[in-house]
Amino acid sequence: MATTFDMSTSRQTLAPVRLGLVRLGLVRFGLVRFGLDLLTNCRAALRERHERRRLQARLSDLSDMALHDIGISRGEIDYVAANRDVDPRGAAIRMT
């Protein structure tokens, strides 16, 4: 066991005890960080779910003709809401 001497008070202190407290602080910080990340991820998932349901409701309110105008059918509403970044027709958009 390593020991250190405090010259100001001529006392002997145990270095591993002090290092243990530092490690304990890092563990606590890691747990706090994990908890904050977990809450952030849950919040993002809830926000995504809310946006998906809102889009489903808005698309469901459209008439069949309006859905046809934007290129989707009523049966594709759930797919379009869940995959907003994917074209339901499978057509690639080319930039020229």
* pLDDT tens per residue, range 28-74: 677 788 888 999 999 999 999 999 999 999 999 999 999 999 888 99
* pLDDT tens per residue, range 9-20: 555 555 545 555
CB atoms within 10 A of CB 77: 19
Distances, alpha carbon 75 to alpha carbons 23, 43, 55, 81, in Å: 56, 29, 14, 11
Instruction: Quickly list DSSP for 51-96.
Output: HHHHHHHHHHHS-HHHHHHHT--GGGHHHHHH-TTS-TT-PPP---
